[in-house]
Amino acid sequence: METKPWIYGPLELLIHGIEHFFMDTEKDYRLALIHLDNSSELAMKSFIRFHNPSLFKKIKKDWRIISRYYERIIGVIEGNVTSFPPELSSKLLYNHEIRNSLYHEALTIPRKNDVYNSIKDVIYLFKTLYSNDYETALKSNIYENILLLLIEIEIILQEICVKKHIQVTNKNIYDILKAFVVDDSFSENIEEIFKELIQEKEQLIVNLKTNIDEDKLYDILIMAEEILNELENI
């Protein structure tokens, strides 16, 4: 199935946000939140304008005004997409307010958890609006696929921690996964795969898209998929 071309712009902004998140500095958190907010806005605008022609036809005469305001864009989506959950609207609006504070008030300090939550919300937005097109677009770019898999691993780990009442404050999410290895939540071979994945992840983030050949990227992809499969079975 051919991926709709209008998904690539917002997806690229999402990937830039994830890259900055993994760089793990205050400056990068600030840039990540801006990229993520722009990604969500462009994803919704593209959905209305190109992905759903009947919806655009219905609001076309007001589009010039609607498209200027984030809140109105969400309102159109929420009022016309039955699969769009109301709580996602609240989360996106909250993230948008944080982004505005960072953009207009230089003294505002971004929090890592705000970036992490924003990434989760934007991914959820893509899956809700674009479904199969989102998955197809990822498979066409191995680097982007790996970054999204690494984030998916973190999201599932967080969910497991909540379910098991494990406190994660000030802990690296990968330290949490190591704990699951120790208490035998994982199969025996997963510890070595996970250790290698962490090493490769750090190298991937340092180099971003450079100095890593395609074979190595495929190795990382396979490791990430195996970890993710293991997590989903816990």
DSSP for 100-165, written as a single string = HHHHH-TTPPP-HHHHHHHHHHHHHHHHHHHTHHHHHHHHT-HHHHHHHHHHHHHHHHHHHHHHTT
Average pLDDT, the chain: 81
**What type of residue sits at position 200?**
E
pLDDT of residue 166: 67
The residue with greater pLDDT, 24 or 91, is 91
In 3D, which of 108, 138, 114 has the Cα closest to residue 14?
138
Radius of gyration of the chain (CA): 19
CB crowding 160-178: b at 16 or more within 10 Å, else e: bbeeeeeeeeeeeebebbe
Condensed to tens digits (0 to 9), the pLDDT of residues 43-62 reads: 999 999 999 999 999 999 99
| Global pTM value | 0.78
Give yes or no for residue 223 having a pLDDT over 60. yes
pLDDT of residue 19: 86
pLDDT of residue 231: 72
pLDDT of residue 178: 62
